[in-house]
Structure formats: C-alpha cells, structure tokens
Amino acid sequence: MELSVTQLNNYIKSVFVAEEMLHNVLLTGEVSGASVRGNGVWFTLRDREATIPCVCWEQSRCAVKNGDQVTVRGTVDYWQKAGKINFNVYALVKTGAGDLLEQLKALTEKLKKEGLFDKKKAMPAKVKRIGVVSSRYGAVIHDIMNVTKRRNPSVDIVLYPAAVQGENAVREVCAGIDYFNRTKNVDLIIVARGGGSNEDLSCFNTENIARAVAGSELPIVAAVGHETDFTLVDYVADLRAPTPSAAAEMVIPELISQKDVVLRLWSQMKYSITSRLQQVRTQALGFLNLFPKDFVAVAKNGQVVKSVRDLHPKDKLQICFNDGRIGVTVDE
C-alpha cells in the first residue's frame, strides 16, 4: 500500500479519535518546561521513566510552574500536520512539589554542605590544548572549534565523544572527565552540550557527574545549555560559561597576528629613531652656536681639513658655518 504523508497522518489521527482509552484520561506527574505561548500553557508531564508533552488552552485552569506535582484530566491528541502527540488538558489539580524536584533540592543542599560549590581552580594563563567532553554530533563541537580557530589557531581541541542525554550520558561524561585527568594531555576541560528541556539536561543534575566535575584535578568549564539554564554542574565547575561558544571565548586569549606585532615594533622603532635624530640635530646646532658668527670649517669624511694639500679632485667636502652646513665637491 502506498500512502502520502498526509494520508498516513490523517489515518493515525482517526485511530486516536476512535480509541476510547485515549479519552478522559487521568495522569499524575511532575511539571517541567512550563511556558505560556499564545492562548495556551505548554508543559511536559514526567515521571521517573517517561514524559509526555501537554497543552492546556485555558490559562486560568493551568497556572503551573516547573516542579509542581499535578493530576490532569484530558485526551491524547495527534496533530497530523506535524505528526506529533500532545495531551490536551481539560482539568488540572496541584498535589504538591514533585519528587524529582525535591530530590534535586536535597542533592544540591548535600553537595553545598560538603563544600563542593566553593572549591574553584584557576584557569591556566597559557592554553595550548583543550579537552572537550561532548557529543561528536551537532553544533556544539563545531562552535567551539570555530571560536578557537578565530581567536588562536595554535590551540588544539581534543574531543572525547560522549552522549549528553539518555541512559548512557552519565557514564560517558564521567569517563571523559576521567580520561583527561589520567592522560594529562590537555590544560583544561570543557563539559558542553546545547540547549534543551529539563529532561534533556537532567544527566547534568546527577550526583555522579557533579562529583566527577568537582573531583577533577584539571580545571573544568561548564557550558551546558543556554544562558538561562542552570544545572548542578554549573555550581561545582571551576567556571561557568553561558554557552559552549562563550566557553572558548573565555579561556582562549586572542592571538595578536604577526603582522600586528611587526607594525607595532616598526612604529616604536620609527619613533625612537626620529626622537634620536631630533636630539642629535638640536645638540649639533647648539654646538655650532658656541663659535663666533663668522665661524667656517671644512671637513672631509668627518675630519676637519687643516690644509689644502689634504684635498684632491672630486673629494666631497662639508663646509660648516655657524648657522648650518653645505656639501661641495673639489673640481681641481
């Protein structure tokens, strides 16, 4: 059977509409990624193992914030134009703070009391190699490399490829930090990933990664998410950058080009030579002024000529007066 995308999506929509189990459903979970867009309140409802996107078209019924534990009633809907599933919320009741939020608050307080937020290592003054723990795919590593190339192309970037979300993320990010600390082949580490939802960034709120960052012997820059995103890694890292690109900007000094260096040296040398010539000229005029007004002297090759016998045809002479000098050539 051959179908167009529109025909397939319309068929899936009809299945959702016909399935009674997907109507008038009660769900309980924790709110994440809440935002108001247009007339709707959009958020993700999550439990320990899964999430589902939700939308409520009556803002007065769905005044929620991230971390709220809620019970919602609604219908699973399939938006055939985009091929996406939403849970349309008709009613919502808050039941308290979510377990996941409470666990994160408790972990944050625990690590803070242990002093992990206070131990900060200084960034190295000279950076030759940077280790990056991030995905090999996507824009993050390319952004860091582009900034590095622009600011100082002599700095090397060493990527340890790691998943930055999903079930393997915690293990792989910790392994990357451990690798650079064991090999000591870089001057510092950037732990980075692009923006995303709270669920996407959740591995950076885990105790394992937080302790790996805090326990690193090498300085670590956290560059996770966008400027408004904060995770545990941001608090335990030695430096927080608002974006991966900003991380490279912050740790790589801009290299002055060789052309700029030469031009700067030439300008300094030109100034020194000009100043010295002016000084010599002033001293020479001052020296000449010591002699009578009718003073005249003849010199050849810097030596005063005392007798005509010292002169020969085509000799170049300098005749010095009290107020200046001229050059002449002996004819015969």
Going along the chain from its start, the domains and CATH numbers come out as: 5-97 (2.40.50.140), 121-251 (3.40.50.2300), 265-329 (no CATH)
pLDDT at 274: 80
pLDDT at 191: 95
pLDDT at 67: 83
CA 323 to chain centre: 66
Signed CA dihedral, 291, 293, 296, 302: sign only: positive
DSSP sequence for 225-277: S-TT---HHHHHSSEE-SSHHHHHHHHSPPPPPHHHHHHHHHHHHHHHHHHHH
Q: What is the CA radius of gyration of the chain?
A: 38
pLDDT at 23: 87
Number of C-beta neighbours around residue 309 at 10 A: 7
CA distance 194 to 134: 9
Please list, residue by residue across 151-181, b when 16 or more beta carbons sit within 10 angstroms of its beta carbon and e when fewer do: ebeebebebbebbbbeeebbebbbebbebbb
pLDDT at 288: 53
CA 177 to chain centre: 19
For residue 80, give every residue at least 6 positions away whose Cβ sits within 8 Å of its Cβ, in sequence order, or none: 6, 9, 10, 12, 13
CA distance 301 to 315: 9
Reduced to 3 states (helix: H, G, I; strand: E, B; else coil), residue 294 is: coil
Under-50 pLDDT residues of the chain: none
pLDDT at 206: 86
Helix axes 139-151, 244-251, angle to 10 degrees: 30
Q: pLDDT tens digit string along 55-95?
A: 998 877 788 888 888 888 889 999 988 899 999 998 888 77
